[in-house]
């Protein structure tokens, strides 16, 4: 389950008056607040698992725009609100186009700032909804409450990342997910060009799945695109390894009637 309402907000601003008042109110509202007076490296922002960032570019000086752009690029899921003094329409438009979600002009009432932070965070949260209950697919049972997956009661011994990846894929069963999307959702920030982490974890998952459930093929590769989770029984004589393999489940187990929807992946053969 997601944390109920707790908003995690970082504020980058040098206006101590504004920050002080905002902090007080945020504390009362039970928010998790982090304040800085200058640029915070993007990696740190990642580690903070923020909902939103309230930023006054003037606190950063020269590279304010650059910083805004970079943060928005690395953390496309982070709500970013610019809150600064007088500005021209052109500046505001530029900021919004660079990736900011909102732009507030100081002086502004902290209550309004908070309401806008909430509005931004609300959208973000609604996406992470659902997917709390256990998922069953073929022989596999995925239990979010344990951060683990099982086959016939045996744990797959998944690490945290492996589990999150599997959970994400299984939650989008039948759908092809691009690597960038996967990375973004599991790692929480944008994938660097050329990063192979997703591939490596897919391999690990496949190994562990194969070990416990060798009669099924769960993760399919879509060349040039990404991966798709969709349990398919392996027809061949593959499961010859003393595993309790139900040869041809023919009945309940198969999630899809093979007659129709057996969309082969292109690399399937």
Partner DNA sequence: TCAGTTGTGAAAAACCTGTGAAAGCAGGGA
Partner DNA sequence: TCCCTGCTTTCACAGGTTTTTCACAACTGA
- Give contact residues for DNA (rule: CB under 7 A): 157, 159-162, 179, 187, 192, 195-197, 199-203, 206, 221-226, 266-267, 269
125 exposed, middle or buried (CB, 10 Å; 0-12, 13-18, 19+)?
A: middle
Tell me whether residue 107 or residue 223 sits nearer to DNA (CB atom): 223
Does residue 237 interact with a second copy by CB under 8 A? no
Strand bridging mode 216-222 / 154-155? unpaired
Strand order in the sheet with 148-151: 135-137, 140-143, 148-151, 154-155
Pick the piece of the chain touching a second copy (CB under 8 A) from 13-21, 175-183, 198-206, 231-239: 175-183
Does residue 46 interact with a second copy by CB under 8 A? no
Token digits of residue 172 = 């989008």
Tell me whether residue 25 or residue 161 sits nearer to DNA (CB atom): 161
Given 36, 46, 48, 96, the residue binding a second copy (CB under 8 A): 96
Partner in contact with 235, chosen from a second copy, DNA, none, beta carbon below 5 to 8 Å by kind: none
Half-sphere exposure of 262 (CA within 13 A, CB side): 9
Tell me the C-alpha distance between 213 and 244, whole Å.
9
CB 211 within 8 A of CB 202: no
Three-class SS state of 60: coil
Partner in contact with 93, chosen from a second copy, DNA, none, beta carbon below 5 to 8 Å by kind: a second copy
Partner in contact with 29, chosen from a second copy, DNA, none, beta carbon below 5 to 8 Å by kind: none
Partner in contact with 62, chosen from DNA, a second copy, none, beta carbon below 5 to 8 Å by kind: none
Three-class SS state of 55: strand
CA distances from 176 to 165, 185, 237, 241 (A): 13, 14, 28, 31
Does residue 115 interact with a second copy by CB under 8 A? yes
Does residue 263 interact with a second copy by CB under 8 A? yes
Question: Interface with a second copy by CB under 8 A: which residues?
Answer: 76-77, 89, 92-93, 96-97, 99-102, 109, 111-112, 115-116, 118-120, 122-124, 126-127, 129-130, 145-148, 150, 153, 155, 157-161, 174-177, 181, 222-225, 228, 259-264, 266
């Amino acid at each position: 389950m997601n944390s109920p309402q707790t908003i995690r907000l970082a504020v980058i601003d040098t206006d101590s008056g504004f920050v002080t008042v905002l902090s007080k109110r945020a504390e009362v509202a039970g928010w998790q607040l982090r304040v800085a007076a200058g640029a915070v490296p993007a990696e740190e922002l990642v580690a903070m698992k923020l909902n939103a960032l309230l930023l006054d570019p003037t606190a950063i000086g020269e590279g304010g725009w650059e910083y805004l752009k970079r943060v928005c690029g690395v953390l496309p899921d982070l709500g970013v609100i610019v809150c600064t003094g007088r500005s021209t329409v052109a500046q505001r438009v530029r900021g919004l186009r660079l990736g900011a979600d909102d732009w507030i002009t100081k002086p502004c009432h902290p209550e309004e700032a908070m309401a806008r932070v909430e509005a931004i965070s609300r959208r973000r949260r609604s996406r992470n909804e659902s997917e709390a209950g256990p998922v069953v697919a073929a022989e596999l049972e995925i239990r979010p409450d344990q951060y683990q997956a099982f086959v016939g009661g045996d744990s797959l011994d998944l690490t945290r990342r492996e589990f999150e990846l599997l959970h994400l894929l299984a939650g989008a069963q039948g759908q092809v997910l691009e690597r960038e999307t996967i990375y973004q959702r599991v790692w929480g920030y944008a994938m660097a060009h050329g990063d192979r982490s997703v591939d490596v974890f897919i391999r690990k998952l496949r190994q562990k799945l194969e070990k416990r459930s060798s009669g099924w093929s769960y993760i399919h590769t879509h060349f040039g695109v990404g991966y798709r989770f969709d349990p398919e029984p392996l027809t061949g004589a593959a499961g010859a390894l003393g595993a309790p393999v139900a040869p041809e489940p023919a009945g309940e187990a198969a999630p899809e009637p093979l007659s129709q929807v057996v969309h082969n992946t292109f690399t399937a053969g």
